[in-house]
Chain A
Amino acid sequence: MTSLYRITLAVASLALLVAYVAPIWSISLEAPQYPEGIGMYIWINQITGQKPHDLQNINGLNHYIGMKAITPETITELKVIPWVIAFLIGLGLVAAATGKPVMLGIWVGLFLTCTVAGLIDFHLWEYDYGHNLDPTAAIKIPGMHYQPPFIGTKKLLNFTAHSWPALGGWIAFSSLLTGIVLLISQIRTSASARSQKNGIHSDPRPHE
């Protein structure tokens, strides 16, 4: 890898540090009774209300439809993800230091795998909260489930729910994308170098 690639990779890795200080995902809700909005942030290690008591109030509202209370301390993933991110940062820095393209490949592969796994996990949690409802709930609407949108906007009774990455999430996606671009570019460069070495290249001009 050239030094430009290595610096870019180091920056992309270090950018993941933002995920420790900013939420990665945001679910916000609007309703006639909540003109000011109510919502929650998902961080790599916690879930918080967008305003101080939003999470408590969301749980209060959800109890009418029999949804389980969102209790961050019972979600194992929130204990694991900070270590995964730390590992990815470390591995990315090692890859940048060694400059070995194979290390870049491993980093991107692991990062992509973790991201996809994380999103699937997020979807499963949402599915569970939205479908696995208390049968004694006060409000029961046949056929109705309350799974928030995976990404985008969805109407759930009187609430309109918006689900989008938050700052930490956008930074993580950018970091991953940067890694993928670097990897593709590296592969193309290597392929081009290999073809020259094998004498297939027909350009008569001297290489710089």
Chain B
Amino acid sequence: MKPNTMLSILTNRFLAGCGLLLLLSGMFFFACQNPGLRDGFSDDAARQVYVPPGEYDEFYSFFSGGFSGNLTVYGLPSGRHLKDVPVFSQFPENGWGYTEETRPMLNTSYGFVPWDDAHHPELSMTDGVPDGRWIFINANNTPRVARVDLTTFATEEIIEIPNSAGNHGSPFITPNSEYLVASTRFSIPIPQRDMAISDYAGNFRGSLSFIHANTPGEMDVAFQILVPGFNYDLAHAGKGPSFGWMFFTSYNSEEAHTLLEVNASQNDKDFIAAVNWQRAEQCVADGNARQMDTRYFHNHMDRATQSAVSTEKTSVTVLEAADCDQMVYYLPTPKSPHGVDVDPTGQYIVAGGKLATVIPVHSFDKMMQAIADEAYETTIEGIPVLQYEAIIAGEVENPGLGPLHTEFDGQGFAYTTAFISSEIVKWRVAEPWDVVDRIPVFYSVGHLMIPGGDSQNPWGKYLVAMNKITKDRYLPTGPELAHAAQLIDISGDKMRMLLDFPTMGEPHYAQALPAELIMDNQVQFFPIEENEHPFATKSEAQTRVERDGNTVHVYMTSIRTHFAPDNIEGVQVGDEVFFHVTNLEQDWDVPHGFAIIGANNSELLIMPGETRTLKWTPRGEGVYPFYCTDFCSALHQEMQGYVRVSPRGSDVPLSYATGN
């Protein structure tokens, strides 16, 4: 062996040894750096999220379904999935958007729209606190806002937003549910017209809509404020001292129309639009607004007839920002702000500048002073831009990379998500505006939610991080994964990771409130005597089949454990058969289903006391079965029937029977 070979072997071994040492020390330091990971596995955490069999969760939480178009309900702290509430998307599981009663709920000025992208659930409020009456949610793609009733967990009302595109900044609510807002993510020509996209700047407009939300069945666009063509992103209402104001973030003050990732990221600051909605009401009353011709739909489930009533509206009240002074001000805010959140005192307005290095906190008092002093930097299309230094209360240093959203615990602390550094930072909502704690989340958190965390009186206790990337958190399920929510205990000085739980669709935001505000108000079934459905059959004696030309109406009932009628003859190929099935049960948790072979739509899932209608078009002669799809009783499997379909023009008479 040559000496230099020997040397080389020794050197190699020395290097390998050093490498091993480095590796070990790296693992040691890694382990020391990540105590939060191990904390998550302690018995203590398990006890905190364990809800024993037969007991209830402390909170209902409502997660948006994102691209599922639904609202999903989970219990906290267990993370148990309780329900999917169909809102903007057809839902064959219960026939939502397929049945004759519910199809009109999805009517829009674009026709029947069977899908949407739902982002932000928003609980109705009284005195600045969620009251458990309703929850609202936005449709992003075809702009709409829906109201879900929290006694039935069913969508009852949907209002389309005219002059809007990309209804992202919605449906944020005022402290007494006076208004919901809906702002345009995409500025567009208003009214819509054929024009060159490159003529965007100065020609496209944004709209900020204020929607009456406090009277069931009467949701409507009260007025729209037309504003410069930026991208309006999110919003939150003022409260306490800032009651009467609504704050909207905007980005793309560059008014770029292509490659926004670059072109909309050039300005050092974009804006929060502070809108005095009480002033807007006054300007509308003073006649400063105009009526604009447009088309939009209002759809409402009528409780008595159990059927949607769809109404087209043709005019909307529009207010130009420039035509109403002292109504809109721009607050300069660093780097394409995303979330805008108002602390429980109503004094501080926090922006999540997704490309900013600090979290700017604006002071409402300073804002009012700057307005009084006319401390303007400039004016854009008649809207004063206040001086940043005049309105800023503080800047939170080192808040993590990519701050997006903030909620509050009511104890003087704020919690902000940092998307890029994948963490949540806790900071003091007061001098010295310092970060007091931080916890990693897995991975890349978007919104966060604290029960009541955007209200005047947060319940606190827990924080849910809604992560955008899941990767290895659960057993893998191919390329598409469930989304990862994480429950964090915020009751102490230090945040503690308690639980991972998968969520369905793509939840963006969620809201939660104590279970007792909702659970005792639940409708268990619909009283049959109050059923005013035009095709209701309130007893078996009234069941019948009627022919009207090529249309056949089957007035059917279901009760444990049979349909009446369950033998139908005289239907012909080419008929349109409407099965109007009334569930005669008057007991909790006894829905009946109805499915028939070859139906081109869905099943029916009929709650006790309810009537639902399925359209069926038989394509060939034969004898076709139908059956109950909801395991209703011991003899559920016997709950079935047949329809005989004869050739067109056959002389088989229309007949029906049960039990002969």
A interface with B by C-beta (< 8 Å): 36, 52-53, 56-57, 60, 64, 138-139
Contact = CB atoms under 8 A, between A and B. Distances in A.
A53 B588 CA distance: 10
B525 to A, nearest CB: 8
A64 B639 CA distance: 13
A56 B560 CA distance: 12
Given A60-B585, A64-B633, A138-B635, 14 more contacts: A36-B588, A52-B586, A53-B586, A56-B586, A57-B586, A57-B587, A60-B559, A60-B560, A60-B587, A64-B634, A64-B635, A138-B634, A138-B638, A139-B634
Interface of A is mostly: mixed
Determine which residue in A52, A53, A139 has the highest number of CB atoms from chain B within 10 A of its CB, and name it: A53
Nearest to B609: A53
A139 B638 CA distance: 13
Nearest to A36: B588
15 contacts: A36-B588, A53-B586, A53-B587, A56-B586, A57-B586, A60-B560, A60-B585, A60-B587, A64-B633, A64-B634, A64-B635, A138-B634, A138-B635, A138-B638, A139-B634
A119 B638 CA distance: 40
B390 to A, nearest CB: 62
Contacts, number: 18
A101 to B, nearest CB: 54
Interface of B is mostly: loop
A139 B559 CA distance: 17
Interface of B: 559-560, 585-588, 633-635, 638
B234 to A, nearest CB: 43
A164 B410 CA distance: 53
Nearest to A35: B54
Nearest to A54: B587
Contacts of A60: 559-560, 585, 587
A36 B524 CA distance: 13
A52 B634 CA distance: 24
A57 B528 CA distance: 14
B660 to A, nearest CB: 13
A117 B560 CA distance: 37
Nearest to B608: A53
A60 B635 CA distance: 13
B558 to A, nearest CB: 12
A130 to B, nearest CB: 20
Nearest to A56: B586
Determine which residue in B585, B586, B635 has the highest number of CB atoms from chain A within 10 A of its CB, and name it: B586
Determine which residue in A36, A138, A139 has the highest number of CB atoms from chain B within 10 A of its CB, and name it: A138
B522 to A, nearest CB: 13
**Pairs of residues from A and B, 3 with the lowest C-beta to C-beta distance, nearest first:** A53-B586, A57-B587, A138-B635
Determine which residue in B560, B587, B635 has the highest number of CB atoms from chain A within 10 A of its CB, and name it: B587
Nearest to B633: A64
Contacts of B638: 138
B307 to A, nearest CB: 24
B562 to A, nearest CB: 10
Contacts of A57: 586-587
B564 to A, nearest CB: 14
A115 B431 CA distance: 82
Nearest to A60: B560
A52 B586 CA distance: 9
A60 B638 CA distance: 16
A114 B559 CA distance: 40
B509 to A, nearest CB: 35
A159 B586 CA distance: 20
A56 B635 CA distance: 18
Contacts of B560: 60
A139 B635 CA distance: 10
Nearest to B525: A53
B528 to A, nearest CB: 9
B561 to A, nearest CB: 8
Nearest to B527: A52
Contacts of A139: 634
B565 to A, nearest CB: 18
Contacts of A52: 586
Nearest to B560: A60
A78 to B, nearest CB: 23
